[in-house]
Amino acid sequence: MHEERPKKIADNLGRAVVFVIMFVFWLMLSGHFDPFHLTLGAICSALVAFASHDLLIHQIRTKKRRLTTAWRFIIYLPWLIYQIFLSNIHVAYLVLNPKKIRPHVIKFKTKLTSDFSMVTLANSITLTPGTITMDIIDGEFHVHAISDKAAKDLLSGDMENRVARVYMEAGEK
């Protein structure tokens, strides 16, 4: 019984943290500060916090691990933005040279184990122009690539290794 109370406190704290993050994003993205929109934002943020706090907070248990993951994710973001920039240039090149467009679906088995790290990889792939994550089935990614270069870049494993490093997964290089 004594163990349940700290867990409840941690759950409520996790919900509060997620609520604050969601509400701040709501405020930044909506730009409306009248009572109706603030109330709507608070309700939506509370629903998201209630439904997903365990996904966002409890995947990473210890405080030190949370801080390390947050720091590694911050370091990962500039690399991802750079990859998005490079992919934009490649897609612009393909627009000017349409004969180089060779769309196809590639499949690869990931070494990532947690749902959170796989979602991060899937979103990173989709954010990168020229590739879209279509599905993940039992750890196998199905990705549409616009060209051979886009597929080759993805199959190099660099992005997967960087995500593994962020979440301290066993297969990180």
State the average pLDDT over residues 138-162: 95
Q: Does 172 fall in a domain?
A: no
Q: Does 109 fall in a domain?
A: yes
Tokens of residue 123, six digits? 């979103």
Q: Number of folded domains in the chain?
A: 2
Asked whether residue 130 falls in the same domain as residue 101, the answer is yes
Q: Does 134 fall in a domain?
A: yes
Q: Are 41 and 26 in contact (CB under 8 A)?
A: yes
- DSSP 8-state secondary structure symbol assigned to residue 132: E
Domain span holding position 45: 4-57
- Residue 55's pLDDT is 65
- pLDDT digit string (tens) for 4-47? 666 666 667 777 877 888 888 888 888 888 999 999 999 998 88
Asked whether residue 89 falls in the same domain as residue 123, the answer is yes
Asked if pLDDT for residue 2 goes beyond 60, the answer is no
Q: Does 104 fall in a domain?
A: yes
Lowest mean pLDDT among 43-52, 147-156, 161-170: 43-52
Asked whether residue 118 falls in the same domain as residue 37, the answer is no
Evaluate if pTM is beyond 0.75.
no
Tokens of residue 145, six digits? 């690539």
Mean of pLDDT over the chain: 86
Asked if pLDDT for residue 169 goes beyond 90, the answer is no
Asked if pLDDT for residue 81 goes beyond 80, the answer is yes
Asked whether residue 50 falls in the same domain as residue 70, the answer is no
Asked whether residue 88 falls in the same domain as residue 46, the answer is no
Q: Does 126 fall in a domain?
A: yes
Residues sharing a CB contact under 8 Å with residue 29, sequence separation 6 or more, in sequence order? none
Q: Does 173 fall in a domain?
A: no
- pLDDT digit string (tens) for 52-70? 766 666 554 566 777 788 8
Asked whether residue 46 falls in the same domain as residue 129, the answer is no
Asked whether residue 133 falls in the same domain as residue 71, the answer is yes
